[in-house]
Structure 1
Amino acid sequence: MAAIEELVLAEPRGFCAGVDRAIEIVERALARFGAPIYVRHEIVHNTYVVNDLRAKGAIFIEELAEVPPGATLVFSAHGVSQAVREEADRRGFKVFDATCPLVTKVHVEVAKLAREGYEFIMIGHKGHPEVEGTMGQLSEGIYLVEDAEDVPRVQPRGDKLAVVTQTTLSVDDAAEILAAVKARFPHVREPKKQDICYATQNRQDAVKLIAPAVDVVIVVGSPTSSNSNRLRELAERLGTPAHMVDSAADLQAAWLEGRSRVGLTAGASAPDILVQQVIARLRELGVLSVRNMDGVKESVRFPLPRGLGDRSMAGLDAPSASD
């Protein structure tokens, strides 16, 4: 294989504050209470992270019936419905909530506006746990739209309507769907600040910079990771071939044939160790030099739940890297 002149690393890439916090909650719970710690759904959508925590004593479950009485339970970063919270209370589990605070912000907004008589359009992907959690904040009056074609099917009962979005969507796709919502419902209430999280936006912005400058983009992320999939799709939409890898073992030399510049990024749930392993493998496949692209430096941190150690961190009012 011919040498590849340059590997360009997107900035920012990899873990976000919500993922860091979620993993730390599970690790601290294991340290404080001992194994096993039960986690409802994958704590974040990354195979390496889940396997690492499983090896340390975490047990990942989907149904609370799988959790024995008196156990310690962690809710995943994606959030849960009110029904799941109520069932956990009834069963008497010791619960630590690893829901990303930016997802919690959406849940709080839904609850507040519902009390004011609003119904909701949720822009998101059917079956994604974050969408199920947000829609599950209400028993009725929340309608899912996955694309602009879904908008005409929404039949709200009243005239007070608000819109919320999954935090890990494509920024461009969400804007297109929102435009369709506003065209049909001109008086729809939008969030004060868009629901798509700062980390999702920053990683997509970095791909918009890197994709036109390289011949192929590699995205480190698991197939179940929504934000990682959006990065691959975005690069392809910009005209650059893109491939997603769960680990360095997934890299295919054929992807690099005839390419002189390779771009590399990672979804918000992909740990840096995987990025470093991919870089090492790309060097073996002929990369001559590695350059880090200039980009936004993220400094957002979220506090841990009470009972898992005191860590002084900025809360939701901290300026995000996208402000």
Structure 2
Amino acid sequence: MGKPALTLYLAAPRGFCAGVDRAIKIVEMALDKWGAPVFVRHEIVHNKYVVDELREKGAVFVEELDDCPDDRPVIFSAHGVPKAVPAEAAKREMIFVDATCPLVSKVHIEAERHHQNGLQMIMIGHKGHPETVGTMGQLPDGEVLLVETVEDVATVQVRDPNKLAFVTQTTLSVDDTADIVAALQVRFSGIVGPHKEDICYATTNRQEAVKAMAPKCDAMLVVGAPNSSNSKRLVEVGARAGCKYSQLVQRAADIDWRALSGISSVGITAGASAPEVLINEVIDAFCDKFDVTVEQVVTAEENVEFKVPRVLREPA
């Protein structure tokens, strides 16, 4: 018997965004410039495959600056860090490179500007996520209040309801965030929002591609890490957009083939920190079991590129 027929819908855009690409390049260029080991505070991006590859090249991943020696370079992850971290690195006279995504840095600058204008901040984000910790750490304690849900908006205690602004984590669900913003605007009619949407272009584009793809699919797989916020949001978006089976897989080995028995179409996408090699691995796994026809679902073209910090472009 021949293999059963299967249509694979491949979301575009998918996978690496410009911020992730830049962060990985920063670690590689730092290793070229200063040699191994180079220390990285927190996973540079949320993907085990990427982290393991960089570890093999000589990157050492730690959770805190205290775990780094003074005499080796340290890189801060793409998610951003509280202000106290680079301040401590400077005090210790360390070489440090900030790989914070420029779109996250934009949120930090917004928060700082609102603070200078006497406004207390409300941040829409996920508690404990490195990006949220980094953004809240740009301002003194109590100046940034976190809300995760519409329900949180009803109970958040503010200093002055007439002197408020909000920012958001860049990797949230576009739809969920819109609901929370609407609730904030109902409760605090004068709250100031960002000039331009904080949710990054890559998050938005990947969610739009999933919305376009999901109704065509019996199942959808998102290639990404379980600690990747934007990847988990893609799973949720797929389920809401009408795909009966929407699952996160780190690699092809994680595919639950029993759950996919009897299907005739599968959508594949990837979070912003998942490399194309893992997407190809998943496609190859389907090709082994099915007679596959691949169709691209293109909803946007991306040509964004971010420069690496000047310190890495200068000779050693």
- Contact 1:7–1:287 under 8 Å retained in 2: no
Q: Which runs of 5+ in 1 are unaligned?
A: 311-323
Equivalent residues of 2:3, 2:291 under 8 A apart: no
Partner of 2:89: 88
Taking the TM superposition and a 5 Å limit, the aligned residue runs for 1:87-106 are 87-106=88-107
Q: Deviations over 1:142-196 (max 9, x none)?
A: 1000001111222221221000000000000000111111110011001011100
1:196 partner SS: coil
Secondary structure (helix, strand or coil) at the match of 2:8 reads strand
Residue equivalent to 1:313: none
Conserved? CA contact 1:2–1:257, under 8 Å: no
Aligned residue identity for 2:206:
R
1:17-28 counterparts in 2 under 5 A?
17-28=18-29
1:65-112 CA-partner distances (Å, limit 9, x unpaired): 111112101000000001112111112210111000000000011111
CA-CA distance at 1:287 after TM superposition: 4.1
Alignment of 1:1-323 (within 5 A): 3-139=4-140, 140-158=142-160, 159-240=162-243, 241-309=245-313
Shift of residue 137, structure 1, vs aligned partner: 0.6
Amino acid in the other structure paired with 2:242: G
Give the CA deviation at 1:294: 2.4
Q: In structure 2, what is the Cα distance between the partners aligned to 1:122 and 1:4? A: 47
- Cα distance per residue 1:201-244 (max 9 Å; x no partner): 00000000000011100100010100000000111112311111
Q: What SS does structure 1 have at the residue aligned with 2:53? A: helix
Which amino acid is 1:91 matched to? R
Shift of 1:291: 1.4
CA contact (8 A) 1:169 1:226 kept: yes
Q: CA RMSD in A?
A: 1.2
Bigger shift: 213-222 or 278-287?
278-287
Shift of 1:23: 0.2
| Unpaired runs of at least 5, structure 2 | none
- SS of 1:308's equivalent in the other structure is helix
Distance, in Å, in 2 between the alignment partners of 1:307 and 1:136 is: 25
Cα deviation for residue 32 of structure 1 reads: 0.7
SS of residue matched to 1:143: strand
Structure 1, residues 299-318: CA drift from partner, whole Å, max 9, x if none? 000111012127xxxxxxxx
- TM-score, reference length from structure 2: 0.96
Is the CA contact (8 Å cut-off) linking 1:215 and 1:262 kept in structure 2?
yes
Percent identical pairs in the alignment equals: 54
Distance 2:135 2:294 in 1: 41
Q: Distance in 1 between matches of 2:132 and 2:46?
A: 14
TM value normalised by structure 1: 0.94
Do the aligned residues in 1 keep the contact of 2:208 with 2:299 (CA within 8 Å)? no
**Amino acid paired to 1:286:** F
Is the contact between residue 76 and residue 98 of structure 2 (CA under 8 Å) also seen in structure 1? yes
Contact 1:253/1:285, CA 8 A, preserved across alignment: no
Q: Distance between the aligned counterparts of 2:259 and 2:25, measured in 1? A: 35
Matches of 1:279 and 1:6, distance apart in 2? 11
What is the identity, as a one-letter code, of the residue corresponding to 1:150? D
Task: State the aligned residue count.
Answer: 310
SS in 1 for 2:298: coil
